[in-house]
Structure 1
Amino acid sequence: MTERAQTRETGFHGGKGPAARSRAMRLRRALTVFVGALLFLVLFWGAVALQRVSLSGSAFNQILDADRIYNLTNVWTIHLKFEPDQWEAMEPKGGSNPFFGGPQGGRPGGGRGANGDRSLAPVFMSHGDSDRDGRISQHEFAGLAERWFKAWDTNQSGKLDESQIRAGLGKIRNPAPEGISAMLLAPEGKRNGIGAALGFEFEYVHADLEFEGRLLYDVGVRYKGNGTFMESRNSLKRSLKVQLNKYVKGQSLDGVTTLNLQNNVTDVSMMNEVLAYRLYRDAGVPAPRTAYARVFVTVPGKHDRQYLGLYSMSEAVDKKFAERHFGTKRGALFKPVTPSLFTDLGADWSAYNQIYDPKGALYDEQKKAVMELSRFVTHADDATFAAHIGEFIDLPEFARFMAVMVYLSDLDGILGPGQNLYLYLHPKTQQFQFIPWDQDHSWGQFDRASQEQRDKLSIHRPWQGDNYFLERMFKVEAFKRPYIERLTEFSRTLFRPERFAQQVDEVAAAIRLAVQEESAEKLARFDKVVAGETLQRGGFGPFGGQTKPIKPFTVARTESIRDQLAGKSEGMIAGAGFPGGFGGGSSLGNMFGRSLCQTLDRDKDSFVTLDEFTDGFAKLFEKWDGDKNGHLTLVDVRAGIEKHLPPAAQRFPPFGGGPDGRGGSRGGPGDPGGFAGDPNRFGGGLSGDRRPVPTQQNSQSNNQGSLQQPPVN
Structure 2
Amino acid sequence: MRGEHALPATVIPLPGRSAHVGAVRVSRKTTMLPRVAGISALLIAVLSAAVMARTRPTTLPADESHRIFGIDRLWTVHLRITPEHWKQMQPTRACRLAYMLGVVRQESPTTQPAPATMPAADGADDGSVLERRVTISPFGYEYKYVPATVEMDGEVYRNVGVRFKGNSSYSYYASGLKRPMKLDFDRFVPGQHFFGLFTINLQNNALDPSELREALSYLLFRDAGVPAPRTALAMVYLTVDGLYDRQFVGLYTMIEEVDRAFLRRHFGNDAGLLLKPEGTRNLAYLGQEWENYRRFNPKTPATPETAQRFMEFTRLIHHADDETFVSTIGSYLAVDEFLRFIAVNAILINMDSFLSGGHNFYVYVNPADNLIYFMPWDLNFSFGSGGKSGAEAAAMSIYQPFPSTNRLLERVMAIYHYRAAYEYYLKRLADGWFSVQRMYGLLDRLEPIVQRAETLLRQTAATRPAATMPATAPAVTITRTRPELRAFIADRVASVTGQLAGQAVGWVPGERPPPKPVWPPAVPPKPAVVARPAPPPKPPGGAIAKPPTTLPAKPAAVAAKPVKPPAPPPPVAVAKPVVKPPHPAAAVMIRNLDADRDGLLARHEMLDAVRLFFHAAGRPEGGAVSEELLADTLDRIDELLDLNPAPKPAAEMAAGSAVRDRPSMMWARALLKAADVGEGEGITLSEALALMERLFIEADANNDGLLTQKELSDALDRLVPR
How far apart in 2 are the matches of 1:476 and 1:704?
A: 46
> Is 1:644 the equivalent of 2:644?
no
**Equivalent residue number for residue 458 of structure 1:** 397
Residues 308 and 627 of structure 1: CA distance in aligned 2, closer, same or farther (over 3 Å): closer
**Equivalent residue number for residue 271 of structure 2:** 330
How far apart in 2 are the matches of 1:67 and 1:210?
A: 19
How far apart in 1 are the matches of 2:185 and 2:233?
A: 18
- 1:312 counterpart (239, 253, 265): 253
Residues 383 and 289 of structure 1: CA distance in aligned 2, closer, same or farther (over 3 Å): same
Residues 190 and 417 of structure 1: CA distance in aligned 2, closer, same or farther (over 3 Å): farther
Q: How does 1:599-610 map to 2 (within 5 A)?
A: none
How far apart in 2 are the matches of 1:435 and 1:257?
A: 20
Provide the secondary structure at the position in 2 that maps to 1:220.
strand
| Contact 1:262-1:311 at 8 Å conserved across structures | yes
Provide the secondary structure at the position in 2 that maps to 1:439.
coil
Residues 203 and 233 of structure 1: CA distance in aligned 2, closer, same or farther (over 3 Å): same
How far apart in 2 are the matches of 1:430 and 1:64?
A: 26
- 2:197 counterpart (246, 253, 256): 256
| Contact 1:282-1:494 at 8 Å conserved across structures | yes
Residues 344 and 542 of structure 1: CA distance in aligned 2, closer, same or farther (over 3 Å): farther
- 1:384 counterpart (320, 324, 329): 324
Structure 2 residue identity aligned to 1:561: V
Cα deviation for residue 304 of structure 1 reads: 1.8
Residues 453 and 218 of structure 1: CA distance in aligned 2, closer, same or farther (over 3 Å): same
| Contact 2:176-2:473 at 8 Å conserved across structures | no
**Equivalent residue number for residue 88 of structure 2:** 89
Structure 2: gaps spanning 5 or more residues = 1-61, 106-134, 463-471, 513-582, 587-623, 638-656, 669-707
User: Which segment drifts farther, 560-569 or 194-203?
Assistant: 194-203
How far apart in 2 are the matches of 1:365 and 1:564?
A: 42
TM-score (norm 1): 0.58
Residues 72 and 477 of structure 1: CA distance in aligned 2, closer, same or farther (over 3 Å): same
- 1:507 counterpart (446, 469, 488): 446
* Aligned-pair Cα RMSD in Å: 3.6
| Contact 1:351-1:634 at 8 Å conserved across structures | no
Count of matched residue pairs: 451
- 2:486 counterpart (511, 536, 551): 551
**Equivalent residue number for residue 560 of structure 1:** 495
How far apart in 2 are the matches of 1:283 and 1:224?
A: 28
Q: How does 1:267-306 map to 2 (within 5 A)?
A: 267-306=208-247
| Contact 2:272-2:302 at 8 Å conserved across structures | no
| Contact 2:267-2:366 at 8 Å conserved across structures | yes
- Residues 188-235 of structure 1, C-alpha deviations (whole Å, 9 max, x = no match): 2359xx983543200000111111121111110000111111111111
**Equivalent residue number for residue 59 of structure 2:** none
How far apart in 2 are the matches of 1:467 and 1:219?
A: 41
- Quote the sequence identity (%): 32
| Contact 1:243-1:258 at 8 Å conserved across structures | yes
**Equivalent residue number for residue 96 of structure 2:** 109
- Residues 279-335 of structure 1, C-alpha deviations (whole Å, 9 max, x = no match): 111111111111111112222222222222221100111111111111222222111
Provide the secondary structure at the position in 1 that maps to 2:438.
helix
| Contact 2:173-2:474 at 8 Å conserved across structures | no
| Contact 2:175-2:474 at 8 Å conserved across structures | no
| Contact 2:343-2:425 at 8 Å conserved across structures | yes
- 1:484 counterpart (417, 423, 434): 423
Provide the secondary structure at the position in 1 that maps to 2:248.
strand
| Contact 1:459-1:564 at 8 Å conserved across structures | yes
Cα deviation for residue 512 of structure 1 reads: 2.6
| Contact 2:176-2:475 at 8 Å conserved across structures | no
Q: How does 1:495-644 map to 2 (within 5 A)?
A: 495-519=434-458, 543-575=478-510, 635=633, 638=636, 644=665
**Equivalent residue number for residue 441 of structure 1:** 381
Cα deviation for residue 378 of structure 1 reads: 0.9
Provide the secondary structure at the position in 1 that maps to 2:264.
helix
How far apart in 1 are the matches of 2:629 and 2:176?
A: 53
Q: Determine which structure has more spread, i.e. the larger CA radius of gyration.
A: 2
- Residues 469-501 of structure 1, C-alpha deviations (whole Å, 9 max, x = no match): 222222123421211111122222122112111
| Contact 1:195-1:226 at 8 Å conserved across structures | no
Residues 471 and 251 of structure 1: CA distance in aligned 2, closer, same or farther (over 3 Å): same
Cα deviation for residue 520 of structure 1 reads: 6.6
| Contact 2:285-2:318 at 8 Å conserved across structures | yes
Residues 627 and 300 of structure 1: CA distance in aligned 2, closer, same or farther (over 3 Å): closer
Residues 64 and 208 of structure 1: CA distance in aligned 2, closer, same or farther (over 3 Å): farther
How far apart in 1 are the matches of 2:88 and 2:627?
A: 47
Cα deviation for residue 548 of structure 1 reads: 1.2
| Contact 1:109-1:197 at 8 Å conserved across structures | yes
> Is 1:216 the equivalent of 2:151?
no
Cα deviation for residue 570 of structure 1 reads: 2.2
- 1:201 counterpart (142, 149, 152): 142
Structure 1 residue identity aligned to 2:236: V
How far apart in 1 are the matches of 2:502 and 2:473?
A: 37
How far apart in 2 are the matches of 1:451 and 1:630?
A: 56
How far apart in 1 are the matches of 2:70 and 2:178?
A: 23
> Is 1:70 the equivalent of 2:101?
no
How far apart in 2 are the matches of 1:628 and 1:546?
A: 51
| Contact 2:635-2:664 at 8 Å conserved across structures | no
Residues 225 and 324 of structure 1: CA distance in aligned 2, closer, same or farther (over 3 Å): same
TM-score (norm 2): 0.57
How far apart in 2 are the matches of 1:239 and 1:627?
A: 41
How far apart in 2 are the matches of 1:632 and 1:370?
A: 27
- Residues 233-285 of structure 1, C-alpha deviations (whole Å, 9 max, x = no match): 11112111010000111101220211200111311111000000111111111
**Equivalent residue number for residue 108 of structure 2:** none
| Contact 1:331-1:424 at 8 Å conserved across structures | yes
> Is 1:395 the equivalent of 2:335?
yes
> Is 1:186 the equivalent of 2:100?
yes
Cα deviation for residue 642 of structure 1 reads: 7.7
How far apart in 2 are the matches of 1:510 and 1:522?
A: 19
Residues 540 and 442 of structure 1: CA distance in aligned 2, closer, same or farther (over 3 Å): farther
